[in-house]
Amino acid sequence: MPTFVYMTRCDGCGHCVDICPSDIMHIDKTYRRAYNIEPNMCWECYSCVKACPQNAIDARGYADFAPLGHSVRVLREEKKGTISWKLKFRDGREKNFESPIRTTDWGTIKGPAEYPAPRPEDFAKQELAHEPEALNTNKGLPALRRDQLKQGLV
């Protein structure tokens, strides 16, 4: 379903323009508000809908196979760590869902340079960062022997 923007809600902030993976949310030069310039390259990923601070963006099912009268609305609350959905069917039935989106505070990931630097001898080994500990096995990193790989049919 391609997205569209409600004229009275959009304030032209450009969050949708920044986030759209398909580069199809642009600011209209006359109205200074956002719109979908290329609906047939919209994946209906809802990145713009979720990012809009004004709830100005909605989606209408693709005209070539989606009958009118439905809606799928979303509210993504980063601080609360949840996403909520409201589906409305063409015949009026509704369904509601809520899911967690993150278990830690935003911005708290420890960057790779905050860990102790690898030792020179670690470069010659096959272990990646945080291994073998992060495998949680106490067995070390698995490996094959060269003679375990052979040509032929199996």
Active-site residue numbers?
Answer: 43
Pick one of 8, 29, 79, 112: the residue that binds other proteins (CB under 8 A).
112
| Residue (56 or 59) nearer to other proteins, CB | 59
Closest CA to 78 of 98, 47, 102: 102
DSSP type of residue 109 = P
Smallest distance, other proteins to C-beta of residue 127, A: 9
| Residue (54 or 81) nearer to other proteins, CB | 81
Pick one of 13, 19, 27, 75: the residue that binds other proteins (CB under 8 A).
19
Q: Which residues pair with 98 in a beta bridge?
A: 84
Pick one of 6, 66, 77, 80: the residue that binds other proteins (CB under 8 A).
66
d(CA 14, CA 102): 25
Structure tokens at 61: 């099912």
